Every structure is written in C-alpha cells, then in structure tokens.
Amino acid sequence: MLQQIVSNFNNISILVIGDVILDRYYYGVNIGNSSESPTPIIKINNIQEKPGGAANVAINISNLKGNVNIVSLSGYDYATKYIRNKLISNNIKCDLIKTKNYNTTIKSRIISDNSQIIRLDIENKNNYFRSPTIIKKIRSILPSVNMLVLSDYNKGTLSSSVQEIIKLARSLNIPIIVDPKGNNYDKYKGANILTPNIYEFQKAVGNTCYSNDDIVFYGLNVVRKYNLSALLITRDKHGVSLIQPNDDPLHIPATQNKSIHNVVGAGDVIISVLALLLSSDVNIKDSCILSNKAAGLLVSKNNYFNIELEDFISLI
C-alpha cells in the first residue's frame, strides 16, 4: 500500500516558504599546524556547492516526485543565481524575491578527514524584512497546494509575516508544518505541526530535557500553548519524539546502523518526507517512522545531502 502511495506523490503539491541558503563545502586534508597561530592547515582538494535551507527542502520533495513551489527572499548576488538555476533544473517552481539590501546567506564548511573543522557564515546583520510581494505570491499559490511547509532559518523571509501566512492557510484548510527557529514560538501559533531539533526545543522551553519524561512534559506544554496538532522533535542519535495532545507519546529510535557521517540536512529530509506522506493521508505515526528512517539513511552516507526516490522506496 505504501508503494502505491509513493507512486502517487506526483499528484501532491506543496508550497515551501522560507530562507534559501547556499551551502559551500571545502574538503581537504590536514597537513600540519600553522606557524602564524595554533591552528591546523587544511589543504583543500575539492569544493562543492548546493542549495541549502528551504531550497534543500524543496529539492527533497522534488526528488520524491512531489510538485513543489518555493517562495523566499533573496539578494542580487551569485548565491541567488546559483540557487535559482539549481531549483529550476530540479523542476521546482521558484519565486526568489530579490530584495534591496538583502544578501542570500552563504554557509561555508571546511571538512577534513570526514570531520567539520569550522563553519563560516556570510549573512545580513539586520534580517528583518517585510516584502508585500511575498504575501501576494503566497496568496496566488496557496489555493492550489495540499500542504504548506515553513522552513525558518531566521534569515528574514519569515521574520514578520508568519501569522498572516498561517491564518491565510488555515482559512483555506491547508495543513501547515513548520521547521522553527529561535525561542519565540508565538509566531507559529496555529500551525499544525512543529519539527524542532532537540537543541532548538531546549532553547524554546528553557530546559535541557535530558529524559523522555522531560521531553513529553515540556512538549505537551508547547502543543497546548500554541494550539498544535503535534510536535515532532528530532533528537540526533536518539531518533525522534512525537508528542500529541490526546495520544500517548511515541519515541522512535534512530535507525542508522552505520557511523554518522553528515547531519546537515537531516531535518530538511524529515519535514519533506513528512509533508508528502501526510498529504497522502498516511497517519502521523507511520509518517514519522518513515521520515525518521529517511533521515537515518541520509546521515549514514558520506557526502549525501538529499533523499532520492529509489533510496526511499527501499525503506518501505
């Protein structure tokens, strides 16, 4: 039955709204320490670029044959041009709203011996932008989609209009899944599902939440306070925890049986798969289990950033 559902993904349409990012990877080897300071010297032998942030979510959905539109602020810069070209080549309808005094964020990671040494971010200091064009685009696209995904990386796209977007989607009975950022969840009130990672969740509730009991206690508080249908917390090597207001919590262990090579993009895979499955009327527990499996596959592979249809089918 699930294989039949997956084969129907091409009938699902999802709108992704959020911050597109250019992810840049510098791969090299450690050739010793610098004479200038007590830091290693990494000789770079390979450089890769890929769309990140909300763009990565959109690509995952497209890889699984879902139809996807993406709306994001962007700059008049190389990063925007690169991301736009990659999205178009992946059959994604993109509205990257070029904005004055806005630069598309670039995250550069230096990697040696399969370990990330440092990450360098180039972004705007002031990321509070309001673009009437974004709301206009969203109003025109929303009536034709099955699901709305908000991919918030706190880079400006969702800084001032989240509640307006959520209320608009709810008026059209369109479910809303949010990958939140920061410790102010007030702006996400009224969404159906939030999918924070454990570190974001801890900051939001002001507690370290080491135990399952802590996660359930604080998770239920978040669900009730912000009128959510569910909260899915991603917990790295501990898997994910699903908290619902009127059901027992579900703690799903991590599935990868190999070394963790790369955690970048795991949350993007989870929200992408979750959106497609829920849009296909798969129940939330089974959707979370399969999304967790997909993320486990991603982190177990080296230089693997997106889920592919063939790999996802192998998990069913």
250 confidence band (pLDDT: 50, 70, 90): very high
**Distance in angstroms (rounded) separating the CA atoms of residues 253 and 51:** 29
Report field, pTM of the whole predicted structure over 0.85 = yes
Tally of structural domains, the chain: 1
For residue 168, the domain's CATH number is 3.40.1190.20
Contact 91, 127 (CB under 8 A): no
The pLDDT value recorded for residue 264 is: 65
Domain span holding position 299: 2-315
Least confident interval from 40-44, 180-184, 298-302 = 298-302
Contact 17, 157 (CB under 8 A): yes
User: Tokens 């979370």 map to which residue?
Assistant: 288
Q: At what angle do helices 198-205 and 212-225 cross, to 10 degrees?
A: 70
The pLDDT value recorded for residue 1 is: 72
Contact 276, 9 (CB under 8 A): yes
11 — phi, psi (to 5°)?
-100, 0
**Distance in angstroms (rounded) separating the CA atoms of residues 242 and 270:** 13
| 150-159 pLDDT, tens digit each | 999 999 899 8
- Within 8 A by CB and 6+ apart from 143, the residues are 172
Strands 67-74 and 115-122: unpaired
**Distance in angstroms (rounded) separating the CA atoms of residues 293 and 6:** 15
Contact 306, 316 (CB under 8 A): no
Write out the catalytic residue numbers: 268
- Within 8 A by CB and 6+ apart from 194, the residues are 177, 178, 179, 180, 185, 188, 222, 226, 228, 231, 232
Smallest CA-to-CA distance from 183 within 222, 214, 150 is with 222
C-alpha distances out from residue 234 to 27, 70, 96, Å = 27, 24, 28
SS3 300: coil
**Distance in angstroms (rounded) separating the CA atoms of residues 124 and 313:** 40
**Distance in angstroms (rounded) separating the CA atoms of residues 266 and 55:** 14
Does residue 193 carry a pLDDT above 60? yes
- Within 8 A by CB and 6+ apart from 285, the residues are 242, 250
Smallest CA-to-CA distance from 142 within 15, 38, 11 is with 15
291 confidence band (pLDDT: 50, 70, 90): very high
